[in-house]
Amino acid sequence: MTSTTSTTSVSSSGGITVSGVGSGIDTSAIVSALVKASTSPKQTQITKAETATNTTLSGIGSLKSALEAFQTAAAALNNTNTFMGLTAASSLETVVKATSSNTASPGNYALDVTKIATASKVASKLFASGPSTAINSGTLAITQGGKSYSVNVGSGATLSSVRDSINTSLSSSGISANIVTDSNGSRLVLTSTTTGAGSDISTSGIPELTIDGTSQLDAADTTSAGFITARPVDAAYTIDGLAMTSSSNTIDSAISGISLSLTGVGKSTVTVASDSDTLKTSVQAFVDAYNTMMTVVNKQTKVTSTGATTSTSDSATTSSGPLTGDAMVRKLVAQVHGALTSVSTTSGSLSVLSQLGVGTNSVTGLLTLDDNKWNTAMKTQYGNVASLFTGKDGLITKMDNILEGYTQTGGVLETRQKTLNAKLSDLDNQQDALDRRTESLTAILTAKYTAMDTLVAQLNSTSNSVLSTLEAMNKSDD
């Protein structure tokens, strides 16, 4: 007796295919449909949640990058020199160089420099044996302008090691040592970055290294030690005919708001004038950096509407940015706008950006700089711009304090990213569980329908056998 059974095979894609030979029914399609009906709602939920989470995570990443880029650009502008409303120029920089602050007053200043401040330079006696000459141990005392320093000279010291010890010990005090050598021998030479009368360097404590910085060295005498060429002097100069002196060549207090650096003897004119063009460039740089940041924010929150078209009969649709309606972004934008419109109490009569012609576009939220308003403001406000933008109470610091709460390690955005990544991890676990359930349900239903088809095949085989027997008996009776 030949039985007819259903066949089960494994497809090349790894799924189970059941061919209902006994029943003639496509049991594989039935199993697939039942499994899909059972798992499809959960799969749709997972897929939708993953798409939304990944989209939001991407938006958060773009926002974080935009905020950090603004902070970097703004930090480069956050110093008084960037927003300098005045500029100082010297007619002859080989005599004097000049820089101004916003506290200076426009004008011309005639300088006549007759002396520049010099530093002490002294030398020891001559050592015929050169740099390797042995030096007695002890404590070398070095004095300059009422200050004293001690350098320990250990046993086995040489002229070279004494030089190295001085440089190591006194470099932070501005005193340095070197050795000059010719065919007659070597001398230890000391100099300093300190200038001005009374800054003579003298040494004592070790007899062979004793130097009186107020006595001149006699190069023809090998035992002579003292200053080389001349003792240190103060700078001497006049400003608009007024005689002045300075122990330093860098002078910050002679002209209010002006720093002078004397570079040589001669005459020069220092001109202080308003510099609105450079100032405007800095303000525009701030505006551009802000607009770059807000363009990204707008893109992440934008809602785009597409109108219906007659030709295609398409209905009107809308598409949203990754962070549209996000409460965190709304709060951020409100805080930033609040900083832009806050009133400054440290920049004199200049208290708000709008006084400089900086306004906000009502549609885009981006900043604009009105040339006419800017030019009007520069007639009186150029000296106050730096205080409005820079310093601990300036606009840039206010903006940075707001954004830092979002961009810093452990800040709002990083915390949000961690939450979203945790959600994605949970969705992955849900997907794994659903995949296991799908596999198990498929196996159970396949087994049931295979058993059913086998039973049908067996019944068909029995039926065929009975019919064959009856037919045989009928033939026998005939």
Question: What is the per-residue pLDDT across 48-59, written as a single tens digit (0 to 9) for each?
Answer: 999 999 999 999
Classify the C-alpha dihedral 115-117-120-121 as positive or negative.
negative
DSSP single-letter state for residue 343: P
CB burial class (10 A; 0-12, 13-18, 19+) of residue 347? buried
**Confidence band, pLDDT 50/70/90 cuts, at residue 459:** confident
The string of pLDDT tens digits covering residues 82-130 is: 887 778 899 999 999 998 876 777 889 999 999 999 999 999 999 999 9
Q: What average pLDDT does this structure show over 450-478?
A: 77
* Domain extents in the chain: 58-81+277-304+320-413, 86-115+234-274, 119-227
The string of pLDDT tens digits covering residues 12-42 is: 334 444 455 556 778 888 889 999 999 999 9
CB atoms under 10 Å from CB of 367, counted, come to 20
Six-digit token string for 77: 């502008």
H or E segment and range at residue 445: helix 412-477
Residue found by looking up tokens 């040592």 in the block: 177
Please list, in sequence order, all residues whose beta carbon lies within 8 angstroms of the beta carbon of residue 383, skipping any fewer than 6 positions away. 85, 86, 102, 103, 348
Question: Of the candidates 112, 84, 76, which has an alpha carbon nearest to the alpha carbon of residue 276?
Answer: 84
Six-digit token string for 411: 């800040």
The string of pLDDT tens digits covering residues 371-415 is: 999 989 888 888 888 889 988 889 999 999 999 999 999 999 999
Is the model's pLDDT at 274 over the cut of 60?
A: yes
Q: Residue 335 is which amino acid?
A: Q
The string of pLDDT tens digits covering residues 306-339 is: 665 555 556 667 778 889 889 999 999 999 999 9
Strands 235-239 and 107-115: antiparallel
Classify the C-alpha dihedral 288-293-297-303 as positive or negative.
positive
pLDDT for 86 equals 77
H or E segment and range at residue 142: strand 138-144
Q: What is the pTM of this model?
A: 0.61
DSSP codes, 181-235: EETTEEEEEEEEEEESTT--EEEESSGGG-B-TTSB--TT-TT--EESS-----E
| Backbone phi, psi, residue 76, to 5° | -70, -20
Residue 382 · residue 309 · CB < 8 Å: no
**Which of 254-258, 318-322, 432-436 has the highest mean predicted lDDT (pLDDT)?**
432-436
Q: What average pLDDT does this structure show over 134-142?
A: 96
**Confidence band, pLDDT 50/70/90 cuts, at residue 471:** confident
Please list, in sequence order, all residues whose beta carbon lies within 8 angstroms of the beta carbon of residue 215, skipping any fewer than 6 positions away. 225, 226, 227
